[in-house]
Structure 1
Amino acid sequence: MFKAKPHFDRPSLAMKAKKAPSTAKLQQEAISCSICLDPLMSPVTIACGHSYCMSCINVHWDREDRYKVYSCPQCRQSFTPRPVLVKSTVLADLVEQLQLKDIGLNKTIADHCYAGPEDVACDVCTGRKMKAVKSCLSCPASYCETHLQPHYDAPPLKKHKLVNPSKNLQENICYRHDEVMKVFCRTDQQSICYLCTMEEHKGHETVPAAAERAKKQKKLQESRQQIYQRIQDQEKDVKLLQQEVEAINVSADKAVEDSEEIFCELIGFLWKRSSEVKQQIRSQQETEVSRVKDVQEKLEQEITELKRKDAELEQLSHTEDHNQFLLNYPSLPALSESTHSSSINIHPLRHFEDVTAAVAELRDKLKDILTEDCRTISCVISDVDVLLARPDGMSRADFLKFSVFVSEDPNSMYRDMLLPVWYHTKRYLKQNQSFPSHPDRFTYYFQVMSDKGLLGRNYWEVDWRGSGACVAAAYRSGTVAEHAFGFNDKSWALNCTPTGYTFYHNSIETPVSGPVSSRVGVYLDHRAGTLAFYSVSGTMTLLCRVQTMFTQAIYPGLRLQRSKGDTASFIKPQ
């Protein structure tokens, strides 16, 4: 990548030379440097045949010095060793002749080569100074293209260190002795001249500045290599995170789609049950109405017949002839009892109200179930965590976000263990408690487990006093009542004493160093397989950490020594 020099505005020149012939344009391109795009200055032609300004190709090859392979910017042909550049006299004359044909162009080029306020001026030029193309750290001075040429031609000057034009060359001069500072004082960590080594820096550890540069350059390269490696690692992490983002999005979209389908299925099931209940109600309604109407019709028929009979009796009652009355009376049929009215038993007016009550009860049950299950679903959603938190980078405030209140399970408590007064005074009863037999009860060790298993992220604390206590975490299933915590592969235990800590798992004892405190914190990240124990005082100090894969819920546990006065209890972290 080449940085082109500021150059004159070719379009504006073309505007001034409105009718310039096309051959002039071709000639102008032929004498231009492909690097800076300006007319060739001290032109050189390299082995592949391409021509450049001497300063431009030198700057380009300076950048390739560390590879020791030098290439042509146009055709990329490579050369080893670095070619010796010689000014092309013929090409320089051609450029000069073409420039003289156009005074305006020549003036523009000259103006472009003069140093401006922001440029580094040549220290050799008199009158109006030209721009410097290089600064020499050995001289020290800055040179334009013309005055720099001796540094390329004279053998003694070829060894000088040339750099890009710099305004800070005076910083390389010792202000006391006016000498170039070529020595580095490691004692005072500053650059000095050779005269300084005989005076105020006498007896100090000094080395050539180039040697110190080489040493620091090596460290710089090592730092750059570390940075490069870190960049590579982090770019891999970024790629993994991008893949994880895509996986999260795909998984979330699938979960939304599946959830909608399941809820639609559930809603469809409810609609189906609603339709069935509606159909049952209507069917029962039709049956009951039909039965009632059937009885109603028969009663209405009886009423009509009774009214007819009543009319006959009324007519007979108005007969004035006694003999005629007595003659017709026996022919009247006897009044029979009603076949329906006696069987009618109207229930209290509730009808289908019981159905409404039953459906309402079902609604309430479904609400309770859905509310509880939705809480569970919300917890499952909240537990989705791609970037698992590392306990190393967590503060106490972070731990407290996951604090849980742990209570003992009386059914697991050793039969003669002192039962704590539940969490108010944190004191223990003075008399032993005799607990009934239970399959979960510890029968040999003064141990107790929590009444609830833990999943996800949780943090709890234990306060212990006396000659010692054991803070444990264990599986409920597979924890043998005769085993002490830490002496099987189903439990992890930190034994705490006034003199220090010891960690136990699967009967393996591991000494643990750390400040002794009467309070121990335990952090569990079930999904990440992390179990960590902390000494809690003014600050939290990591004592030990387990990294495994948990296959069951974890139950906090405690074990006391048999010494009188030993106590331990779960406390709520604050």
Structure 2
Amino acid sequence: MAEASISWTEDQFRCSVCLDLLKDPVTIPCGHTYCMICITDVWNQDQKGIYSCPQCRQTFSPRPVLSKNVMFAEMVEKLKKTRRQAAPAVHRAGSGDVQCGSCTGIKLKAVKSCLECRISYCQTHLEQHENLFRDQKHNLLDATGRLQELICPRHDKMLEIYCRTDQQCICILCLMDKHKNHDIVSTAAARTEKQRHFEEMQRKFQKLIQQKEKDLQKLRKAVDSHKRSAQTAVEDSERIFTELIRSIEKHHSEVKQLIRDQERAAVSRAEEQLERLKKEIDDLKRKDAELKQLSETQDHVYFLKSLSSVSLSGSTDSLKVSAHLSFDDVVKSVSQLRDKLQQFCTDDIQKISTRVKTVQVILTPEYETREVILPYSHPQMFFDEERSFNSGWQYEMGVNDYDFEHTVPPPFSPL
């Protein structure tokens, strides 16, 4: 009931020329009220100097002086405020909606567009439009924001004809000049003709979409498989390099132990010799002391007897010490081993890097030739000359026959 009351009240304050709420309302002598600008435009178009009411057709002479109806203006402002409060949010034009061209203030969502009036209407203004043009058949279509595209830019007329010769929509005036004697049909007939091609194109698009979706799923599976294989390769590489490091550390420990064992053996032999030499020196010193004491005796018989019992004991040969006291040659050999390992690793890392780069989901330019790919390709990966190498690096693995879901990529293995 409240909405009906508001609608009825608004109708009393609508201009019958613009169909919207009165703007600067003026009441002419017959009692009807219009927007000041609307009635002014109507009377300005009258060339005969006879000024009439658009509704009741009562004429006035001379031209009435227009004055703003203050009471009507206040009522209209109140109605606008009431309409803003009463308008449901669902009917308001949102982002992307076509707005009603007759609404002032808050724009409501348009439901229809009129090709003759070239304006879109909300439900309320559409009803007023239909009442006003009840005797005329205006062409209405679902609300569109592309009304201007339906108008000929040259003649400002509706595009109602399709020129088959020039493959474009034209208006009736275009037919008289630029498209004279051309093969033409109505836009509706052209739509029917084109609809068959359109439906065929739609089928092709649907087929292409299905193929692309299938390719998308296969590619996703390929990516997942690629990720799993990469993770396995990383884990295997880490394990292998850890084993390699442990092997080097083991050999390092063995070399250290070898050096220490040699050191202990050599030092042990040298210490034995040191003890023997010290003992021999002590014996020699003792005998030297005895000889000195004997040389000082005055007893000739004792001297002669004692001298015959004194003998030179111990080896008189000089001790030979080895000239190879340094482990420099060992250090040199270890350094050479290091250099060889580094060079070996550098060379093989390059080979590994090349092999890593060949593991592709989508083929890249540097691996587009058969000669480069085949040494590293999976046994079940195939290449089609027409599609793979001539169409820009297509990776046929999985696009047609390759089963990504049930095929496990070859495990990564270092050289």
Judge same fold: TM > 0.5, yes or no.
Answer: yes
What is the distance in 1 between the residues matched to 2:86 and 2:274? 126
Unaligned runs of 5+ in 1: 1-26, 33-38, 42-101, 123-129, 403-453, 458-523, 534-541, 550-574
- 2:238 maps to 260
Tell me if the contact between 1:120 and 1:166 (Cα under 8 Å) persists in the aligned partners.
Answer: no
Once residues 137 and 132 of structure 2 are traced to their aligned partners in structure 1, the CA distance between those partners, rounded to angstroms, is 5
- Report the residue type matching 1:145 in the other structure: L
Indicate yes or no: 2:184 matched with 1:206: yes
Matches within 5 A, 1:401-416: none
Please tell me whether the aligned partners of residues 165 and 182 of structure 2 are also in contact (alpha carbons under 8 angstroms): yes
Instruction: For 2:127, give the aligned amino acid.
Output: T
Aligned to 1:386: 361
Identical positions, percent: 36
Q: Call closer, same or farther: CA 1:342–1:235 in 2, change over 3 Å.
A: farther
Deviation for aligned residue 1:529 = 5.9
- TM-aligned CA distance change 1:263 to 1:236, over 3 Å: same
Residue-by-residue CA offset, 1:141-183 (whole Å, 9 max, x unaligned)? 87633245579999x959x55332668479547977x975533
Partner Cα distance (2:83, 2:175) in 1: 51
Q: How many angstroms does 1:107 deviate by?
A: 4.4
The answer to whether the 8 A contact 2:113-2:143 is kept is yes
Structure ranking higher on relative contact order (CA contacts 8 Å, 6+ apart):
2
Aligned mates of 2:290, 2:189 — CA distance in 1? 147
- Residue 456 (str. 1) matches residue 372 (str. 2): yes
1:187 and 2:165 matched? yes
Shift of the 225–40 alpha-carbon distance from structure 1 to 2, 3 Å rule, reads farther
1:319 Cα shift?
A: 1.4
The 5-angstrom pairing of residues 109-508 of structure 1 reads 119-121=100-102, 133-137=111-115, 144-147=125-128, 149=130, 162-164=141-143, 168=147, 172=151, 181-192=159-170, 201-330=179-308, 332-338=309-315, 342=317, 344-389=319-364, 456=372
1:258 deviation in Å? 1.7
| Helix, strand or coil at the partner of 1:203 | coil
Deviation digits for residues 488-536 of structure 1, max 9, x if unmatched? xxxxxxxxxxxxxxxxxxxxxxxxxxxxxxxxxxxx8974766979xxx
What displacement does 1:186 show? 1.9
How far the C-alpha of 1:384 sits from its partner, in A, is 2.3
Question: Helix, strand or coil for the counterpart of 1:456?
Answer: helix
- Deviation readout 1:23-43 (Å, 9 max, x if unpaired): xxxx87xx79xxxxxx999xx
For residue 334 of structure 1, give the secondary structure of its aligned residue in structure 2: coil
**Aligned CA-pair RMSD:** 4.9
Letter of the 2:231 counterpart: D
Preserved contact between residue 223 and residue 361 of structure 2 (Cα < 8 Å): no
Matching residue of 2:11: none
* Distance (whole Å) between structure 1 residues aligned to residue 178 and residue 304 of structure 2: 168
1:198 CA drift (Å): 6.7
State the Cα distance separating 1:224 from its structure 2 match.
4.4
User: Which whole-Å CA distance do the structure 1 matches of 2:134 and 2:197 have between them?
Assistant: 35
Cα displacement (A) at 1:373: 1.3
TM-aligned CA deviation for residue 315 of structure 1: 1.0
Aligned counterparts of 1:222 and 1:297: Cα–Cα separation in 2: 110
Q: Is the 8 A contact 1:174 1:181 kept in 2?
A: no
Residue 348 of structure 1 deviates from its aligned partner by 0.8
> Contact 2:355/2:376 (CA < 8 Å) preserved in 1?
no
What is the rounded CA distance, in whole Å, between the counterparts of 2:110 and 2:265 in structure 1?
A: 113
Q: CA deviation at 1:288?
A: 1.5
Task: Give the distance between the partners of 1:362 and 1:269, measured in 2 at CA.
Answer: 14
Name the count of aligned residue pairs.
304
Following superposition, the deviation at residue 244 of structure 1 comes to: 3.5
C-alpha contact (below 8 Å) 1:525/1:531 kept by paired residues: no
Residue identity in the other structure for 1:292: A
Match of 1:466 in 2: none
The change in CA–CA distance for 1:293 and 1:282 in structure 2 (over 3 A counts) is same
From the two aligned structures, give the one with the greater helix fraction: 2
Q: CA separation in 1, counterparts of 2:192 and 2:232?
A: 59
Q: Per-residue displacement from partner, 1:308-353 (whole Å, max 9, x unpaired)?
A: 11111111111123233223322x2422351xx6484322143433
Q: What amino acid is the match of 2:143?
A: N
Q: Which amino acid aligns with 1:388?
A: L
Q: Deviations over 1:466-508 (max 9, x none)?
A: xxxxxxxxxxxxxxxxxxxxxxxxxxxxxxxxxxxxxxxxxxx
| Distance of aligned partners of 1:151 and 1:271 in 2 relative to their CA distance in 1, 3 Å threshold | farther
Q: CA deviation at 1:273?
A: 1.3
Gaps of at least 5 residues in structure 2 are 9-77, 94-98, 398-415
Greater percentage in strand: 1
- 2:150·2:158 contact (CA, 8 Å) conserved in 1? no
Rate the CA distance shift 1:311–1:379 in 2: closer, same or farther, 3 A. same
Residue 502 of structure 1 corresponds to none
Rounded Cα–Cα distance in structure 2 between residues aligned with 1:167 and 1:315: 141
- Provide the rounded CA distance (Å) in 1 between the counterparts of 2:143 and 2:252: 88
Distance 1:351 1:162, change over 3 A: closer
Q: Which has the larger radius of gyration?
A: 2
Q: 1:262 to 1:231 in 2, by over 3 A?
A: same
Contact 1:120 1:165 in 2 (8 A): no
